Structure 1
Amino acid sequence: MSDESKRTTERIAELRPGYQADLAAGLDRFFEPRRTTCPWCGSERLTTRLRTTDLLQHKPGRFVLDRCEACAHTFQNPRLSAEGLEFYYRDFYDGLGEKKLGDTFGGRTAMYRGRAESMLPHDPGPKTWLDVGTGHGHFCAAAREVLPDTVFDGLDFTEGVELAAREGRVGHGYRGEFHELAADLAGRYDVVSMFHYLEHSTDPDRELRAARETVRPGGHLLIEVPDPESRWARLLGRWWLPWLQPQHLHFVPVANLRRRLTDLGFTVVSEQHREPHDPVDLLAAVWLSLDRLAPRDDAPWLPRRPGAARRVLRGALLVAGIPALVAGTLLDRFAIRPLSHRLGLSNAYRIVARRD
């Protein structure tokens, strides 16, 4: 066993008693009461769109996504409570998951550059930029290559933003809830970006109002979110990665977001579907399926460490699945990506809006 593996095993053993105490207290406290109306438009015309489990960390719990038949908004119902958010986020972006997620996000430089370049037709030289939900600040570091004269700050409620500041990826790192910090940041930024942030928020409308307060008049708001109207969402069902339960709480159709931004005094100047598409849908679906079939890897929310035989079986099943993973990757990148928008398979959309 390598030193890093040994440290991980020891850390899991240290965390196990705390997780087991949380689970012994029951899961009901992790959920709010079920809603009977849509949080976006207030309609009572709700239908169940998806039932699933935590397919990434495999923490216990079952999650439901409802769809509003009046406005097409999809949302988690019942929604995680504050205790639930803490439990299911714990050790995903920080703690045990920090290195894995940091390596994953850190290797996506081309995608980050593309996001920054989407602002160039509208403001080729913003002086100040705030990235909300910045995580470890990898977008800001890459975007600086596109806009070297722009000062990039980051905001996040996790300790990742403090790491981003220490590593010099952001000029200033704000830790906390955006809507609580917005008054102190009012009118300060030429650009505010929210890349795959709104779907995590408990109240997307509140976050949009905070963005309006933070963007200076004439400045821009740049938003990228999963597209719940993607055909992949229907074809792949629970295996569609952007559902990301239980972390993703809201899925806003593009028409809804455009109307809400207009109501808040923005003018939408760009809408993109092809450019923000991330070609990983089939690969991720295959991986999630294999990971679900294989015995669990060790984690502190398991009552005990899996035995050697189960660990060997897990490895063997994942190795056997390599041809399917390779096939999914090739189809995603070379067969589907060029046609993703035309076929309605884009898994995300991006909007640029100017504050009037």
Structure 2
Amino acid sequence: MSEKTGPAERIAAMRPAYRADLEAGLDRFFESRRTDCPWCGGEDLRTRLRTTDLLQHKPGRFVLDRCTGCGHTFQNPRLSPEGLEFYYRDFYDGLGEKKLGDTFGGRTGMYRARAESMLPHDPEPKTWLDVGTGHGHFCAAAREVLPGTAFDGLDFTDGVELAERAGRVERGYRGAFPDLAPDLGARYDVVSMFHYLEHSTDPDRELRAARGAVRPGGHLLIEVPDPESRYARLLGRWWLPWLQPQHLHFVPVANLRRRLTELGFTVVAEQHAEAHDPVDLLAAVWLMLDRAAPRDDAPWLPGPPSGPRRALRIALLIAGIPALVAGTLLDRFAVRPLARRLRVSNAYRLVARRD
């Protein structure tokens, strides 16, 4: 398809493939429902959340269960390989590539802060592997903090290849981390996983892969959504980090600390307010507005919206601008300074040294 092809033409060209997927039914997108916790094996499960896809608005309903024994929250039933392919399609790549690329590319300050969190523990790492690097924007920003560090990236999408061509990473590995880790040979001073574990089908396997890639004395840097955030309860389905159906696992910090210790790591830093991304109220308002407004065009919908429906969507979104501005101001200037005290941090970060 020509690069000059407009969005409407691209969407129309993709609609038959999505129609065929949907006509085959949604059941094949889900595995069987689990009766035990994938983290501890406990069988006392409680439903924590029921929701739909609030970002792409692809069809389907999703459930998060919580283990009352260890507190682990997980998608149940979980997406199958076919479901992962369907719901990831056109989010980070395809139709969503430019939009997400612009979003991630504009977060330099956050990326620098992540890199700076390593300075007290290793101010001059020689080698760093960023797992789940996407288009490598973190590595590009982190190089300004650590100019003597060689940054490599790993991802299962073609974004890592784009990152290598753009020079954001020195070497890009494409594939599943547990499959590639045996060939990495404990060569890295630092391995980072920023908002990666929650996407994985088996977090424990990913942690074992990380142990194999970090040299003895090196560090593992992990950042994930915090399921114990008060915002997770207060905002319910409108809490952005739930990000259904992509986020499969939500690990309480005590669980992750314990597992890292079992794997031979020593946790040397735990950060909550420092990992907080002040967007919760803004995102909740946007998700509500977007849910209430008529749908924008997308290839998984039967057809493009009519003129009146487009006009109504625009009018509702414009009417919501004051609420979006209020959410932004509250996030950044009222809540952020109190995030630690209010326990509303939407993420936590651990730095662990491999012993």
The interval holding the TM-score normalised by the smaller chain is over 0.9
Paired with 1:78 and 1:70, the residues of 2 have a C-alpha distance of 19
Give the AA of the match of 2:249: H
The corresponding residue for 1:76 is: 75
Alignment of 1:264-283 (within 5 A): 264-283=263-282
Amino acid at match of 1:308: G
- Residue 250 (structure 2) aligns with: 251
Aligned partners of 1:283, 1:250: CA distance in 2, in Å? 24
**Matched residues in 1 for 2:312 and 2:247: separation?**
31
Aligned to 2:309: 310
**CA separation in 1, counterparts of 2:167 and 2:9?**
31
For residue 203 of structure 1, report the CA deviation from its aligned partner: 0.2
Partner residue in 1 for 2:8? 9
The answer for the alignment partner of 1:211 in structure 2 is 210
In the TM superposition, what is the alpha-carbon distance from 1:341 to its structure 2 partner? 1.0
The one-letter code sitting in structure 1 at the alignment partner of 2:229 is S
1:254 CA displacement? 0.1
Q: Which AA in structure 2 matches 1:121?
A: P
Equivalent position amino acid for 1:34 in 2: R
Helix, strand or coil at the partner of 2:50: strand
Asked if residue 162 in structure 1 is aligned to residue 166 in structure 2, the reply is no
Distance 1:116 1:200, change over 3 A: same
- The alpha carbon displacement at 1:6 in A equals 5.8
Q: CA deviation at 1:8?
A: 1.1
Q: Residue 48 of structure 1 aligns with which residue?
A: 47
Greater Cα offset, 304-313 or 99-108: 304-313
1-structure distance, mates of 2:301, 2:4: 18
Q: Which amino acid aligns with 1:298?
A: D
1:5 offset after TM fit, Å? Answer: 9.4
Q: Percent identity?
A: 83
> Secondary structure at the residue paired with 2:342?
coil
Tell me the equivalent position of 1:151: 150
Which string of whole-angstrom CA distances, capped at 9 and with x for unpartnered residues, describes residues 14-43 of structure 1?
A: 100000000000000000000000000000
1:174 matched to 2:173: yes
* C-alpha RMSD of matched pairs (Å): 1.0
Task: Please state how far the C-alpha of 1:339 moved relative to its aligned partner.
Answer: 0.2
SS state at 1:275 partner: helix
Aligned to 2:233: 234
For each residue in 1:26-82, what CA deviation from the matched residue of structure 2 results, as whole angstroms up to 9, or x when unmatched?
A: 000000000000000000010000000000000000000000000000000000000
- Helix, strand or coil for the counterpart of 2:49? strand
Matched with 2:339 is 340
1:320–1:278 Cα change, 3 Å: same
Structure 1 runs of 4+ off > 3 angstroms? Answer: 3-6
**Residue identity matched to 1:322:** I
Flag the 1:321–1:6 CA change in 2: closer, same or farther, 3 A: farther
Question: 1:291 matched to which residue of 2?
Answer: 290
- Whether 1:331 and 2:334 are equivalent positions in the alignment is no
The offset of 1:7, in angstroms, is 1.3
Match of 1:22 in 2: 21
TM-score under structure 1 length normalisation: 0.99
Name the count of aligned residue pairs: 354
CA distance in structure 1 between the partners assigned to 2:235 and 2:190 by the alignment: 35
Q: Deviations over 1:176-216 (max 9, x none)?
A: 00000000002110000000000000000000000000000
The SS at the match of 2:186 is coil
Q: Structure 2 stretches of 5 or more lacking a match?
A: none
Shift, 1:172, TM fit: 0.3
In 2: Cα distance, 1:125 partner to 1:215 partner:
15
* Secondary structure at the counterpart of residue 180 of structure 2: helix
CA distance in 2, matches of 1:128, 1:9: 44
Q: C-alpha distance in 2, partners of 1:354/1:264?
A: 11
CA distance in 1, matches of 2:165, 2:296: 32
- Residue type at the aligned position of 1:43: G
Structure 1 residues not aligned, in runs of 5+: none
Superposition map of 1:63-142 within 5 A: 63-142=62-141
CA deviation after TM superposition for structure 1 residue 83, in Å? 0.1
| CA distance in 2: counterparts of 1:39 and 1:341, whole angstroms | 30
Tell me which amino acid in the other structure corresponds to 1:9: A
CA gap of 1:6–1:297, structure 2 versus 1, over 3 A, is: farther
Q: Deviations over 1:236-293 (max 9, x none)?
A: 0000000000000000000000000000000000000011100000000000000000
1:65 and 1:303 mapped to 2: Cα distance? Answer: 28
Equivalent position amino acid for 2:38 in 1: P
